[in-house]
């Protein structure tokens, strides 16, 4: 199996930061706020490898640092420290050493992101088709008919009625917005997809369909994914391996079924016990 991403020592601090930040926060202190400088240690020393076609789950409550991790990797935020190596087709790229144009190019061509809040991933003022067109246009596809055709195919694949492709996504239901986001994320067939709480807030039946869709896409395109969620059900269905996070730290990691059936950490045991 081939590695696609290698993350080492990834940390994120909001605030000035001080020498004591990392040694005074975390699960054992039950806080991620540094008592010395008031900074928030959103993430500390995250390490993991991701392989091609693999789905990795990152589970935790809000404030655990799980979303911060993907936001750093997708360049929505600049991390405090750490490294991430992306194994692209022919070359390896150190994500946090790239210049803004290189970062944008990776975001547009090689990564996809689906946010919990669709208006972060979609431009609500342009049509569903236009949203997909935007990503294709970034990839220098300059033929109008071809763009229309590919947008239509992608929306059909993600089960959005293609008659609605020229409508504004702000008029769509939540589930439909997520489908458009997924279609947009997939437009350039990226080998790596980030999913941040994608089903949170949707009806159960809609959730199940979205999760199904994600798995189908993963098996069709062999897309590697990082799935961030607080929902054990999502983790169970999607992820092969899971990291459990609390106060910015990974407190437990393992195969997803092991995490769910034989959790080691007190916090994970509590999570699993309260959910099952």
Instruction: Give the DSSP per-residue string, 107-170.
Output: HHHTEEEE-SSHHHHS-TTS-HHHHHHHHHHHTT---HHHHHHHHHHHHHHTT--GGGTTS-GG
Q: Is residue 269 part of the contact set for another protein (CB under 8 A)?
A: yes
Q: What span, in angstroms and rounded, lies between the C-alpha atoms of 129 and 73?
A: 27
From 170, 262, 275, 276, residue interacting with another protein (rule: CB under 8 A):
262
How does 191-209 read in b/e, with b if 16+ C-beta sit within 10 Å?
bbbbbbbbbbebeeebbeb
C-alpha triplet 119, 123, 126: angle, nearest 5°: 135
CB of 147 to another protein, least distance (A): 7
Question: Residues 6 or more apart from 116 whose CB is under 8 A from it?
Answer: 196, 197, 198, 200, 201
Residue 250 to residues 59, 60, 149, 260, Cα–Cα distance (Å)? 9, 9, 43, 16
134 touching another protein, by CB under 8 A: yes
Binder among 92, 171, 173, 219 for another protein (CB under 8 A): 219
Question: Can you say whether the dihedral through the CA atoms of 114, 119, 121, 124 is positive or negative?
Answer: positive
Q: How many residues bind another protein (CB under 8 A)?
A: 52
Binding residue for another protein, selected from 85, 98, 138, 221, defined by CB under 8 A: 138
274 binds another protein (CB under 8 A): no
By CB under 8 A, is residue 77 in contact with another protein? no
Residue closer to another protein (CB basis): 37 or 85: 37
Q: Which stretch binds another protein (CB under 8 A): 67-75, 180-188, 195-203, 256-264?
A: 256-264
Is 161 or 255 the residue whose CB approaches another protein more closely?
255
Under the binding rule (CB under 8 A), the answer on residue 133 touching another protein is yes
Query: Per rule CB under 8 A, is residue 1 in the interface with another protein?
Result: yes
Q: Which residues bind another protein (CB under 8 A)?
A: 1, 16, 18, 36-38, 49, 51, 54, 100-101, 104, 108, 123, 126-127, 129-130, 133-135, 137-138, 142-145, 147, 166, 208-209, 211-212, 215, 219, 236-237, 240-241, 253-255, 257-258, 261-262, 264-266, 269-270, 273
């Amino acid at each position: 199996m081939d590695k696609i991403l290698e993350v080492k020592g990834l940390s994120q601090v909001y605030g000035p930061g001080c020498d004591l930040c990392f040694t005074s926060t975390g699960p054992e202190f039950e806080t991620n706020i540094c008592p010395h400088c008031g900074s928030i240690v959103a993430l500390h020393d995250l390490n993991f490898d991701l392989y091609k076609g693999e789905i990795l789950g990152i589970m935790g409550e809000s404030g655990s640092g799980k979303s911060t991790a993907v936001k750093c990797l997708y360049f929505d935020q600049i991390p405090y420290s750490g490294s991430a190596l992306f194994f692209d087709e022919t070359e390896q790229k150190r994500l946090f050493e790239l210049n803004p144009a290189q970062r944008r190019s990776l975001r547009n061509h090689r990564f996809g992101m689906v946010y919990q809040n669709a208006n972060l991933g979609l431009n609500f003022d342009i049509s569903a088709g236009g949203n997909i067109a935007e990503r294709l246009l970034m990839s220098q596809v300059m033929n109008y008919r071809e763009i229309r055709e590919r947008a239509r195919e992608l929306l059909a694949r993600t089960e959005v009625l293609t008659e609605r492709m020229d409508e504004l996504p702000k008029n769509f239901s939540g589930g439909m917005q997520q489908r458009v986001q997924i279609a947009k994320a997939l437009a350039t067939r990226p080998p790596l997809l980030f999913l941040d709480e994608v089903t949170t807030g949707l009806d159960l039946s809609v959730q199940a369909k979205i999760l199904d869709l994600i798995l189908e896409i993963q098996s069709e395109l062999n897309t590697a994914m990082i799935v961030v969620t607080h929902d054990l059900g999502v983790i169970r269905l999607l992820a092969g391996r899971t990291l459990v996070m609390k106060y910015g730290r990974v407190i437990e990691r393992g195969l997803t079924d092991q995490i769910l059936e034989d959790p080691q950490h007190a916090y994970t045991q509590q999570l699993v016990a309260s959910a099952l």
